[in-house]
Structure 1
């Protein structure tokens, strides 16, 4: 099965975004990284809780409609149902998502985005001017993380505007254009405070990172 993060952006769309990143970094000494992951976490507890609840409901329903009142019948049915449903929940994101709380998803995306920011060395640019645009598909969350050199000069509300731009584009199935627009907006912010300087080099690659999450 093709990775959802790879389906999210076609090869041509990734090239379009990468070209915009390259253009952006011709105007600024800052660095912009775009990362897309299928999920920020695998949520094993959601699979356990969801499959347990569904197996109980199925067992009760089957016992009721067939007239089987034996506890052993119920336990056998529950056990088989749990195994099948657990595998389904692991493989069908839309079903698993029903058993994950919004707060858990927000927390996991936040943690995964920060981890990615450091793992990809976005915090290691010379002037601390790296920006990560992190998109987690399962959770339907977007996070923009800017290094301390930028955050000292830019209001945090600006990053939320960029998040809203991307989320709106995804909802209208125009994600590539929305991400490209977000890159342009980041470039304008960076260029205003950190214009291109003599001897500047591209410290981070321009490729869209297709990640696996945790």
Structure 2
């Protein structure tokens, strides 16, 4: 099965976004990185909880019907059926994101995206630019969340609330199924914000790749 993050943007759409990043960085000494992950976490507890609840409901119902219509009681019927249903449902929930999301709270998803975005920022060395002007646009598909992480040099001059506009633009584009255009627009807007405080300097070099990163998440 193809990775959802791979399907999210076509090769042509990635190239278009990468070109916009390159153009944006001609106006600012800031470095913009776009990353798309299928999920920020695998949420094992959600699969376990969903499987337990579903298996319990199905097993109780089937056991009741079995005893009503067959008229037999067996101490082994319930645990045997429960085990089989649990294993089957667990695999289904684990593999079907829409089902798994039912058993994950919004607060848990928000926390996992926040943690994963910050980890990615440092793992990808976005904090290593000369003037600490790296910025990460992190898109996590399972959680339907977008997070913008800016380095210290940017945060010292730009209010963090400014990035909400970027998030809103991308989320709106995803809902409208125009995610590539929305991300390109968001990149342009990042450049507008950064160029005010960090205009392109003589001798500036491209410190981070313009490539759209398709990641595996945690």
> For residues 123-155 of structure 1, what are the alpha-carbon distances to aligned partners after superposition, in whole Å with 9 as ceiling and x for unaligned?
111111111000000001000011111111111
Matched, 1:103 2:107: yes
Q: Which residue of 1 aligns with 2:53?
A: 53
1:145 match: secondary structure: strand
Q: Which residue of 2 aligns with 1:141?
A: 145
Give how far 1:71 is off.
3.6
Give how far 1:190 is off.
1.0
Q: In 2, distance between residues paired with 1:35 and 1:210?
A: 6
- Please say which structure displays the higher CA radius of gyration: 2
Q: In 1, distance between residues paired with 2:74 and 2:4?
A: 43
1:32 match: secondary structure: strand
2:76 match: secondary structure: helix
Cα–Cα, structure 1 residues 12 and 64, in superposed 2: closer, same or farther, change >3 Å?
A: same
1:27 match: secondary structure: coil
Q: In 2, distance between residues paired with 1:47 and 1:71?
A: 27
The 4+ residue runs of structure 1 with deviation greater than 6 A are none
Matched, 1:93 2:97: yes
Q: In 1, distance between residues paired with 2:91 and 2:181?
A: 36
Q: Which residue of 1 aligns with 2:88?
A: 84
Q: Which residue of 2 aligns with 1:153?
A: 157
Q: In 1, distance between residues paired with 2:144 and 2:74?
A: 43
2:26 match: secondary structure: coil
Give how far 1:69 is off.
4.3
Give how far 1:65 is off.
2.2
Q: Which residue of 2 aligns with 1:177?
A: 181
> For residues 65-85 of structure 1, what are the alpha-carbon distances to aligned partners after superposition, in whole Å with 9 as ceiling and x for unaligned?
222643421111100011111
1:99 match: secondary structure: coil
Q: 1:113 aligns with which of 114, 117, 141?
A: 117
> For residues 136-177 of structure 1, what are the alpha-carbon distances to aligned partners after superposition, in whole Å with 9 as ceiling and x for unaligned?
000010000111111111112111111011101100101001
Question: How many residue pairs were aligned?
Answer: 214
Give how far 1:185 is off.
0.4
Q: In 1, distance between residues paired with 2:79 and 2:160?
A: 53
Q: In 2, distance between residues paired with 1:34 and 1:188?
A: 16
Structure 2 residues without counterparts, runs of 5 or longer? none
Q: Which residue of 2 aligns with 1:202?
A: 206
Q: Which residue of 1 aligns with 2:10?
A: 10
Q: Which residue of 1 aligns with 2:192?
A: 188
Q: In 2, distance between residues paired with 1:71 and 1:91?
A: 32
Q: Which residue of 2 aligns with 1:19?
A: 19
